[in-house]
A = this chain, B = another copy of it.
Amino acid sequence: MKISEIASIIGAKFNGEEFEVTGMNTLKSASKTELSFVSNSKYISDIKNSQARVIIVDAKTEKYVPTDSIALVVESPYWEMAKLSKYFAPCIEDDNLPEPKIGEGSKVSPRAEIANGATIGKNCTIMAHVYIGANVTIGDNTILYPSVCIYRDCKVGSDCIIHANSTIGSDGFGFATSKQGEHKKIYQNGNVVIEDDVEIGSSTAIDRAAFGTTLIKQGVRIDNLVQVGHNCVIGEYSVLVSQAGIAGSTIMGRNVVMGGQSAISGHLEVAAFTTMAARSGVTKSIKESGLTFAGFPLMEHRLWLKLQAKLARLVK
Contact = CB atoms under 8 A, between A and B. Distances in A.
A265 B22 CA distance: 48
A40 interface: no
Interface in A271-314: 273, 278-279, 281, 296-297, 299, 303, 306-308, 310-312, 314
Interface in A175-227: 175, 177, 181-183, 185, 199, 201-205, 207, 219, 221, 223-225, 227
A113 B307 contact: no
A141 interface: no
Interface string A117-150: 0000000010111010000000000010111010
A255 B180 CA distance: 10
A241 interface: yes
A245 B243 contact: yes
A171 B167 contact: no
A263 B237 contact: no
A243 B223 CA distance: 14
A209 B116 CA distance: 38
B315 A299 contact: yes
A146 B149 contact: yes
Contacts of A181: 237, 254-255, 273
Please indicate which of the listed interface residues A93, A177, A261, A297 has the most CB atoms of chain B within 10 Å of its own CB: A261
Interface stretch (A9-17, A74-82, A158-166): A158-166
Nearest to A229: B242
How many copies of this protein are present in the complex? 3
A151 interface: yes
Contacts of A109: 113
Contacts of A205: 201-203, 224-225, 242
Interface string A232-269: 00000101011101010000001100001101010000
Contacts of A111: 111, 113
A302 to B, nearest CB: 9
Contact of A183 (B173, B237, B241): B237
A36 interface: no
B260 A245 contact: yes
A164 B185 contact: no
A95 to B, nearest CB: 10
A201 B221 contact: no
Given A151-B164, A163-B167, A201-B207, 4 more contacts: A173-B221, A183-B237, A185-B199, A261-B261
Interface of A: 92-93, 107, 109, 111, 113, 125, 127-129, 131, 143, 145-147, 149, 151, 161, 163-167, 170-171, 173, 175, 177, 181-183, 185, 199, 201-205, 207, 219, 221, 223-225, 227, 229, 237, 239, 241-243, 245, 247, 254-255, 260-261, 263, 265, 273, 278-279, 281, 296-297, 299, 303, 306-308, 310-312, 314-315
12 contacts: A145-B151, A146-B147, A147-B147, A149-B165, A161-B185, A164-B170, A183-B237, A224-B227, A241-B247, A242-B245, A260-B263, A261-B263
